Amino acid sequence: MELTNLRNNSALMGEINRIAEVAGYLWTNGWAERNGGNISVNLTDLMSEEEKQLPAICAPIQLGEVMPAVAGHFFYVTGTGKRMRYVAQDPFDNGSIIRIAEDGKSYEIIAMQPIAPTSELPSHLLMHNYVRSQGRDNRVVLHTHPTNIIALSHCKPFLNSNHITRVLWSMIPECRIIVPKGIGIVPYEIPGSMDLARATVKQLEEHDVVLWEKHGILAVGEDLIECFDAIDTLAKSADIYLNARMAGFEPEGMTDKQLDDLVPVFNLPVK
Ligand code: 13P
Ligand code: ZN
């Protein structure tokens, strides 16, 4: 009998190609030095029952925390230490598909190769678990290292969620529209730690984008391109702000009224 070949699943491969596309954007934008950044995408709805039965290609690995809302779910995750520029070329050589156990306590790799998931897997899965437990249809977690946003996180006033959100929104109208919930802030924590994961999940109560002090940014969403667009728009605002400062002036920014006037026109949540 021929083994199930995930490469024949066009819906799934479409999503994998999307991951490769976005990995390329992260690299070309200069946000992905060496192995900087990681991506996870929930593939559960794209897989057939037969594909879901694929045998594990590694022993089960404990998660350290129970994740009931993603029990039995399947994710593509970039591999730890893998470079985004190579994820762009071959996602299955630089990441793997994992299955969360039915008790939500462990995972196993089912395809294509036994490539260990990103060190930020605790953060990613805790976030997937949280958004699903809230009934939100967010399938994607994207973490990357945008230079100018990280630069702002080295300046104390920008570690205030309202302040950084207000400044970045006020650089261009699109920022208020594309990132309507603004940015949450997580003070510095060790990369890959459960403390970082828990602090990030707390920020998701009010935000879809979270800044990790002196480290990077993270977005959750239904669609990987939308997550990328949210970070890209914030990065554009950070570029404008810092370019103005480097030119020697404090940018004026849009007024409160100009920002508020966008709310009814674009049906935005009031903040
Ligand atoms: P990984 O290579 O383990 O994904 O780590 C990269 C990173 O950005 C850690 O925050
Ligand atoms: Zn990182």
Same fold, 1-119 and 146-271: yes
- Chain segment 12-22, per-residue pLDDT in tens: 999 999 999 99
| Parallel, antiparallel or unpaired: strands 61-62 and 106-111 | antiparallel
The residues spanned by each domain of the chain are: 1-119, 146-271
Kindly give the distance from the C-alpha atom of residue 36 to the centroid of ligand 2, in angstroms, as a whole number.
5
Which residue CA neighbors atom 4 of ligand 1 most closely?
118
**Catalytic annotation present for 33:** no
Dist. CA 177–CA 181, nearest whole Å: 9
The reply to whether ligand 1 has any atom less than 6 angstroms from the CB of 51 is no
- Chain segment 172-197, per-residue pLDDT in tens: 999 999 999 999 999 999 999 999 99
Instruction: Look at residue 134 and give its three-state secondary structure.
Output: coil
Torsion of CA 250, 214, 147, 125, to 10 degrees: -130
pLDDT for 32: 98
Q: How is 98-126 classified by DSSP, letter by letter?
A: EEE-TTSSEEEEEESS-PPB-TTHHHHHH
Q: Which atom of ligand 1 is nearest to the CA of 215?
A: 10
Dist. CA 68–CA 71, nearest whole Å: 5
pLDDT for 1: 41
The reply to whether ligand 1 has any atom less than 6 angstroms from the CB of 114 is no
Kindly give the distance from the C-alpha atom of residue 79 to the centroid of ligand 1, in angstroms, as a whole number.
8
Query: Which strands sit side by side in the sheet containing 106-111, from one edge to the other?
Result: 61-62, 106-111, 95-100, 74-78, 38-42, 140-144, 216-221, 209-212, 183-186
- Chain segment 16-50, per-residue pLDDT in tens: 999 999 999 999 999 999 999 999 999 999 999 99
Torsion of CA 111, 53, 127, 67, to 10 degrees: -130
- Say which of 15, 21, 51, 120 is annotated catalytic: 120
Tokens of 202: 């707390």
pLDDT for 198: 96
Q: 224-246 vs 10-28: helix axis angle to the nearest 10?
A: 10
Kindly give the distance from the C-alpha atom of residue 152 to the centroid of ligand 2, in angstroms, as a whole number.
16
Instruction: Look at residue 240 and give its three-state secondary structure.
Output: helix
Q: Which atom of ligand 1 is nearest to the CA of 81?
A: 2
| Residue to mutate (ligand 1; options 19, 77, 80; most atoms within 8 A of CB) | 80
Q: Which atom of ligand 1 is nearest to the CA of 143?
A: 8
Q: For 205-223, b where at least 16 C-beta lie within 10 A, e where not — what string?
A: eebbbbbbbebbbbbbbee
pLDDT for 271: 78
pLDDT for 3: 61
CATH, range 1-119: 3.40.225.10
CATH, range 146-271: 3.40.225.10
Dist. CA 150–CA 33, nearest whole Å: 13
Helix (H) or strand (E) holding 143: strand 140-144
- Is a pLDDT exceeding 70 seen at residue 168? yes
| pTM of the shown model | 0.97
Mean pLDDT of the chain: 97
Contact of 97 with 75, CB cutoff 8 Å: yes
Kindly give the distance from the C-alpha atom of residue 115 to the centroid of ligand 1, in angstroms, as a whole number.
14
The reply to whether ligand 1 has any atom less than 6 angstroms from the CB of 118 is yes
Q: Which of 163, 164, 162, 161 is nearest to 149 (CA)?
A: 164
Residues 6+ apart with CB under 8 A from 218: 123, 127, 141, 142, 143, 144, 200, 209, 210, 212
- Is a pLDDT exceeding 90 seen at residue 159? yes
Q: Over pLDDT 70: what percentage of the chain?
A: 99
pLDDT for 147: 98
